[in-house]
Amino acid sequence: MKKVLLPIIFMIMCVSSFAQNFEFSKTDSIPMKKDEIYSKTKMFITDTWKSSKAVIENDDKEGGIIQLKGIYKTKGVFTLAGNYYYIYGYTVRIRMKDNKYKVEIYDVICKDVACTASGRTGILIQPFEGDGKDVKTSNFFGGISKKKAIEMMAELKGDLNSIIIAYSDCISKQTKTDNF
């Protein structure tokens, strides 16, 4: 009974600490009507994610909100125990009204971890918790070092922040009109 109960308790503790404590947001004014911002937002989503239908969770044109769920897979982190890949889920919410938009990325959560050399997978191999400044790693089952966790966290933050920068650039570009 102890052999079954201990892993279950450990798994519950790990799952509860996987939410990362950071979010990104940008609010900006732009001389466009809500419908034009909405149209450009849909084009941005189509150009940025492989399948817009797969990521969009809520699409409310009248209310001026689009919410989507994305997946981010880190580059492999090599350790003595093997090559680790971390899969993160995140939420993007884009709100719009006449002459204004707000884009937010939040709920960044480690959903899975895979170790190629050992064949181990699952969230028991906890990468770390925190916002990258106060990282606590778990070397249980040979997890990654604190230095590698900080580097990976910086990469994750940079890539998620680049979504907001790309969205802002896309919205602010003038639409070319051609007489096709």
Report strand pairing: 82-97 vs 136-137.
unpaired
Q: Give pLDDT, residue 61.
A: 95
Burial profile 9-25: b = 16 or more Cβ within 10 angstroms, e = fewer: eeeeebeeebebebebe
**Low-confidence spans in the chain with pLDDT less than 70:** 1-21, 78-81, 117-145, 175-180
Residue for token pair 């939420």? 91
Task: Give me the CATH code for the 25-172 domain, please.
Answer: 3.30.530
In terms of Cα–Cα distance, which of 152, 171, 180, 11 is closest to 72? 152
Q: Give the predicted TM-score (pTM) of the model.
A: 0.74
Tokens of 3: 């052999």
* Domain ranges within the chain, ordered by starting residue: 25-172
